[in-house]
Structure 1
Amino acid sequence: MTLAQPTLVDSGSAPGVEQPEQSTPISTAPRSRWRHATRERPTSHSFRGDVAGLRAVAVGLVLLYHAGLPFLPGGFVGVDVFFVISGFLITGQLVKEIERTGRISLSAFYARRAKRILPAAAVVLVVTTGLVWRFVPRISWQEIGGDIVGAATYVVNWRLADRAVDYLAQDSQPSPVQHFWSLAVEEQFYIVWPLLILAAILAARLLRRDVKPILWVGLLAVALPSFVWSISETKSSPAQAFFMSTTRMWELAIGAGIALVGSRWARMPRGVGVVIGWLGLAAVVTAGLFVTSSTAWPGYAAALPTLGAAAVLAAGAGAGRAGPVALLGTRPFRWVGDLSYSLYLWHWPLLMIATVHWHGLSVTRGLAITAASVIPAWITYRLVENPLRYSVAVSRSPRLALSLGANFTLVGISAGLALLVLFSTASGGSAAARPAPGAAVLAAKPLNDPRGRVMDQVPFITPDPLKAKRDLPDTYRDNCHQDQSSATVLSCTYGDRNSTTEVVLAGDSKVEQWLPAFQALAARNHWKLTVYIKSNCPLSSAVHLVIDTKKRYPSCTEWNRSLLTKLVADRPDYVVTSQYSGTALDTNGVQSADAMVAGMRRSWTALAAVGTKVMVVANNPDPGFSVYKCVDQNRSHLSSCTFDRGRHDADRGYQTQKAAVPGTGVPMIDLFDAICPVGPCAPVIGNVLVYRDTSHLTSTYVRSMTPRLAIALAAVGLPAR
């Protein structure tokens, strides 16, 4: 998991910096009620030492978690704390503006945000681009360049959400700008919330009502659906839910709700405030200590740190010096809180780039880098953040502030585009795809064929490693590869659509990788070839798990149910399957290979009952590293990118297939000898790159094995030439 940025708005320590300018000409009748409340008690949004200190707690949780401290497995809850603080402070400023003028200025609002967040963010993006160019292998430049553009335009959270369920991104490293996702979430919330406030002001004017109850209606209209959606999406797709703004807005809304109550929190009995405040801080710390990466997040579990932070904010005014401010208001906490935004921006890219450069980080080294990030953070805070935030000229002119923000945004976008251009130049200059024999260089019986041995250097490699991730089956281009989030059965049809012989490929991406060879055979043998593929989802009626998270995978179970019903009704002549997964859940909810075997056999039996012949292609092993990345970095020393041939027999998917086949009449085709003729397994055979990622074969290599596949299919009852 990745984490959020510190609150992006001054907590009130700089008088006059963020005062509203050029208000929208909408007023309300009950302005006097707001003013009366303001006169009655000091506003709760004047400087709050506990708020500054709470930011320090939040960023401390984030930094120590990222550094790798094992006793803080839930440090990512700092994101939730920051969202609450941000909602509280931003809404408090808007409420003060309504109290004072009866209106709000969108231009002034966005100008304040632009001068506050964009300059420092752009500086970090530019420096990160340079560090990536210098220290990160070029194979990653394209993906990171796109991330930088997404970070600069505040949509990177959706890019990361898509990647979280993208099977093609299984070997992606955490992006050095991944932490910008939370900034994107906030900006998306602050597109919606000020517009709702304007609508509430207009409604109050038309209805001649107090604006505050209408603001509550607008806030609940955001918070409740977001909370419900957060629970639902976290249950079905937690990796995606983590990054989505729609699953996070309720957290910002809780902070906004605390601000709407306003000065009335100060009327809380002091004893009650003290208890609530300290309990709230304890809830935040408890979440950091006991929540783990296996906790479905955000969902309802995020309520613990979220409500804890809200309790600290609500109780602060009433608790006085006996409350959490006794700790949070101390000079060290306030200093870290003031530095938190820059500190957050800098620590993550430094950690991630160091991780790639040193191939991992120890806790000691992680802590050292995190501590060192204070230096660029302090420099950015003193030379970029404060000078622009406190500039009188920029503060007085929303137009100037917005122009400044736009220019810094363009700088960030340009940095990302520069990295994309550098990658394009590198990949464009690499060898173009050339005809290469691949597996065709091997003997009819390839085992121990010396032509399959590893060579340190070859004249050219097809596909070039920089282009390997694009060497895909046509199902990706044709949009019939179903992702993990949906159970809808998608299909593509190739070959002769009017043929009386229908061959089906069904299962996960490990059978999908064989499509190029099957397409060639379908054209040659006049088959109707139909493909049903879902990420990480084998053809089995078992109760499935997501491989990475080991959590239930209900959309896979449902997809299998629907697909089996369709196949039984359609009665294709042949179904060919393969799979990566080796285990499923048994009736006791325990993960086991036996449960997967039983589920596979049930599906096969149902198909055999209607006359469909099932065939299994043996799973090829995971080399244990990203082959194409290794090859790109070791073009003159390819022996650095070999793997043990014994990984095939040890592969869990293959072992499960072997256990399921006996007694079923289902044959298994094993072409591994043509993938790895001689140990250790070579990354390039016949000038063709064998693997395109950590476990899938390149389409080019699969295509070169077409004649071998034809012979194997014919041997088990599917006539092919």
Structure 2
Amino acid sequence: MRHVAISSDLWTQARAAAPPRPPKPTSGDSRSFRGDIEGMRAVAVLLVLLGHAGVRHLPGGFVGVDVFFVISGFLITGLLLHELDQRGRLSLTDFYARRAKRLLPAAATVLVATLLLTYFLLPRGRWSTTAWDVIASACYAMNWRMAGESLDYVAANDAPSIAQHFWSLAVEEQFYLVWPLLLIALGWFARRRGRGGRGLYLSGLALIAIPSFAWALHVSPTDPSSYYVTTTRMWELALGGAVAVAATWLSRSSRLVAVPLAWGGLIAVCASAALIRTEAGFPGYAALGPTLGTAAVIAFGPAAGRAGPALLLGRRPLLYIGGISYSLYLWHWPLLIAAQAHFGDLSVGAGLAVVAVSAIPAALTYHFIENPVRRSPTLAARPPAALRVGAVCTGAAALAGLAFHLVVPSTTGPAPTSTVIMGQVPGATTQAAPPAAPGAAALGSAPRTSRAGVPVDRVASITPEPVTAAKDTPLSQTSKSCHVELESSTPRTCVYGKQDATTKVALVGDSHAHHWLPAAQAAAEANGWRLVSYTKSGCPFLAAEISLNDRPYSSCTEWNTRVREALLGEDRPDIVITTHAEYPVMGASVPNRQPALIRELRNTWNTMITGGVPVVVLRDTPLHLKDVAECVSKNPNRLTKCATPRAEATGRGGGPAQEEAVKDLAGAHLINLNDWICPADRCAPVIGGVLVWRDAHHLTATYSTTLAPQLGAALKPVIAKL
């Protein structure tokens, strides 16, 4: 599920006393209550909620965030301009006091409730991460945390954060740290020149919008973090601000022009939610539909009158949903994630039920927290007091997150042990299973008939602890000394085993190659080989360009070029070991993805073979549809619930394409060790006392280490023929 969050906005005090149905708009004053805008808020939040619930016909429900950014930019800028017109100056204290009253009490309430939901319903493995997410959300920095997570391939495979919807609130508040200061400067300059300030304000917004939109166009096609960062989102808020600056002029538009443009804007928003199927490219060209559509509704609504979208958007149900939209969004996402964690993947009907239930705490929060604080005469008369209330709310939420991290135990038992193998470069370490946990060795020489591989409900002990399994990775990835992350295209290598060995082996590929590193390293040590690792997150050993998150993965293509040059250079290995997950080749249609991948794999491997370097393909490991470690942590006495049918698990991932690509390719050898990973008809989550999987598709480093004898035995005949 894509996570989006609503923009919060400030209505004036008149909003609280607004009539239930909108009067015919006659002016461009953004301070007057606009039923069509309140209805647009309802449309936007409904798109987001229905999209999160999994409604198939709204794949682009995430465009609701773009709608809210434009609305917020319009309303906030309108309030600031009114204050400048009336008083000739802006009070930053008053401005931030209003925002503190509007945002922080409800946000703090939901964040504390989120920690309670986490404690009672989420697996312990998520507790620590959730605590830090709450702290980041309370401090309005969640968007930067999400941007970093989007570039972390391992984190990208984790379950969605229960607090990640706070990212767009962070974007907004960061924008409003800049915009009032710029308005003050422009207003001062306008007074000095003795000129009206509207043209200067538009210029100021252009100074923000044009570079921001240009940057969004530049980075959004290839960089998934661009979805979250403030620099690519400011143009959307600035667009709403520009409509507020020009509101008086726009309100004089001809009704013949205004009516079709306003309706066209509403249609553009809804069509975007129905037709846009990927977040790739956001917030670039693809975001113009919902943003310009929203701007059209706001800009031409007054001139269109009741012949415009206000006819629909001013209905009582939409007005009420728009009124509670901030609280509704704050509540619906934590409840969805908690329900998903407790009950498993939700059907569309179940998701819609959770969304409907979230209206109850949302309405209570709106009526008993939002409105009382926002309408408080004491806080209205004393802005510093309102700021103190906001500071208390922020501090309470942040301290609650910190206390949850420090006080509530998120693990049980010791962390996995690690041992250092002599003769390696710094940072090149591996993890070893304790002697009491034999792992794959428990299967003996006939794993398919061994009872040790049959799933059972309970085992005496599990290594590593399921709640810490996500960290049971080859330590080179943890220290980032050798494994290359998503954004980098520069190969980094680590050397293992015997430095002056006559047999030189290279391990090359993505994180699925990397999770074999402990086994390959131990095999190299045992057989006197020299092992060099070349691994990169989400990047198979492939000459063709692939897509990642529906974007061209250009850093992978560059990395591959450099790796091939190294492998065919002076220090070439005697053999290359490679494996990978399944990836779409750029330009290949969905039905042709696997044939295209097979073709490109053969081309890449043939290049190595022609250059004198044989290729060993490690058949990809089984792929589950659930996080196995998380399932085990939730079901320690019913481990069979975490067992996936072997035929299903081995039929997914990169394995089928690898088997086809290696056929009749001289110089390429296929090694399939899945009998020691999933030996029975269902894949046991624990074998020989060792947890096999750290997530849905990566081996734990501990179990990988126990596969070293099998990997070494399979490689010896191939190496002997060199």
Normalised by the length of structure 2, the TM-score is 0.89
Q: Which residue of 2 aligns with 1:20?
A: none
Q: Secondary structure at the match of 1:716?
A: helix
CA contact (8 A) 2:621 2:650 kept: no
CA contact (8 A) 1:431 1:460 kept: no
Q: Which residue of 2 aligns with 1:697?
A: 699
Identify the range of structure 1 (247-256 vs 350-359) with the bigger mean alpha-carbon deviation: 350-359
Q: Which residue of 1 aligns with 2:78?
A: 92
Is 1:162–2:148 an aligned residue pair?
A: yes
CA contact (8 A) 1:481 1:490 kept: yes
Q: Which residue of 2 aligns with 1:350?
A: 335
Distance 1:196 1:498 in 2: 64
Q: Secondary structure at the match of 1:79?
A: helix
Q: Which residue of 2 aligns with 1:134?
A: 120
Distance 2:407 2:61 in 1: 36
**Structure 2 residue corresponding to 1:276, chosen from 248, 261, 265:** 261
Q: Which residue of 2 aligns with 1:36?
A: none
CA contact (8 A) 1:283 1:305 kept: yes
Q: 1:336 is aligned with what amino acid?
A: I
Long gaps (5+) in structure 2? 19-25, 418-433
Is 1:414–2:399 an aligned residue pair?
A: yes
Q: Which residue of 2 aligns with 1:601?
A: 602
Query: What's the offset of the Cα at 1:263?
Result: 1.9
Query: What's the offset of the Cα at 1:426?
Result: 4.0
Distance 1:431 1:42 in 2: 62
Shift of the 455–71 alpha-carbon distance from structure 1 to 2, 3 Å rule, reads closer
Q: Which residue of 2 aligns with 1:120?
A: 106
Shift of the 268–584 alpha-carbon distance from structure 1 to 2, 3 Å rule, reads closer
CA contact (8 A) 2:128 2:410 kept: no
Q: Secondary structure at the match of 2:14?
A: coil
CA contact (8 A) 1:53 1:333 kept: yes
Q: 1:711 is aligned with what amino acid?
A: A
Q: Deviations over 1:653-700 (max 9, x none)?
A: 222222222332122222222223333332212211111111111101
Is 1:664–2:649 an aligned residue pair?
A: no
Shift of the 393–491 alpha-carbon distance from structure 1 to 2, 3 Å rule, reads farther
Q: Which residue of 2 aligns with 1:565?
A: 565
Identify the range of structure 1 (643-652 vs 253-262) with the bigger mean alpha-carbon deviation: 643-652
Q: How does 1:48-447 map to 2 (within 5 A)?
A: 48-201=34-187, 203-204=189-190, 211-237=197-223, 239-293=224-278, 296-421=281-406, 425-429=409-413, 434-435=434-435, 436-447=437-448
Q: Which residue of 1 aligns with 2:626?
A: 625
Distance 1:514 1:311 in 2: 55
Distance 2:691 2:27 in 1: 72
Distance 2:8 2:584 in 1: 43
CA contact (8 A) 1:454 1:681 kept: yes
CA contact (8 A) 2:28 2:247 kept: no
Q: Deviations over 1:541-576 (max 9, x none)?
A: 234233xx5654343333322322333234422321
Shift of the 440–594 alpha-carbon distance from structure 1 to 2, 3 Å rule, reads same
CA contact (8 A) 1:394 1:401 kept: yes
Q: Deviations over 1:468-515 (max 9, x none)?
A: 000011232232433334434343444566666543221111111111
Distance 1:407 1:470 in 2: 35
Q: Which residue of 1 aligns with 2:522?
A: 520
Query: What's the offset of the Cα at 1:412?
Result: 1.7
CA contact (8 A) 2:221 2:551 kept: no
Query: What's the offset of the Cα at 1:90?
Result: 0.8
Output the aligned Cα RMSD: 3.0
Distance 1:711 1:105 in 2: 75
Q: 2:88 is aligned with what amino acid?
A: G
Q: Which residue of 1 aligns with 2:21?
A: none
How much identity, in percent, do the aligned residues show? 44
Q: 1:145 is aligned with what amino acid?
A: A
Query: What's the offset of the Cα at 1:61?
Result: 2.1
Q: Which residue of 1 aligns with 2:429?
A: none
Identify the range of structure 1 (119-128 vs 6-15) with the bigger mean alpha-carbon deviation: 6-15
How many residues get paired? Answer: 694
Shift of the 54–482 alpha-carbon distance from structure 1 to 2, 3 Å rule, reads same
Identify the range of structure 1 (154-163 vs 485-494) with the bigger mean alpha-carbon deviation: 485-494
Query: What's the offset of the Cα at 1:401?
Result: 1.5
Query: What's the offset of the Cα at 1:82?
Result: 0.7
Distance 1:633 1:707 in 2: 32
Long gaps (5+) in structure 1? 18-39
Distance 2:496 2:181 in 1: 50
Shift of the 82–583 alpha-carbon distance from structure 1 to 2, 3 Å rule, reads closer
CA contact (8 A) 1:439 1:704 kept: yes
Shift of the 575–142 alpha-carbon distance from structure 1 to 2, 3 Å rule, reads same
Q: 2:577 is aligned with what amino acid?
A: V
Q: Secondary structure at the match of 1:267?
A: coil
Identify the range of structure 1 (307-316 vs 80-89) with the bigger mean alpha-carbon deviation: 307-316
Identify the range of structure 1 (346-355 vs 682-691) with the bigger mean alpha-carbon deviation: 346-355
Query: What's the offset of the Cα at 1:429?
Result: 4.3
CA contact (8 A) 1:92 1:259 kept: yes
Query: What's the offset of the Cα at 1:11?
Result: 5.3
Query: What's the offset of the Cα at 1:265?
Result: 2.0
Distance 1:397 1:530 in 2: 66
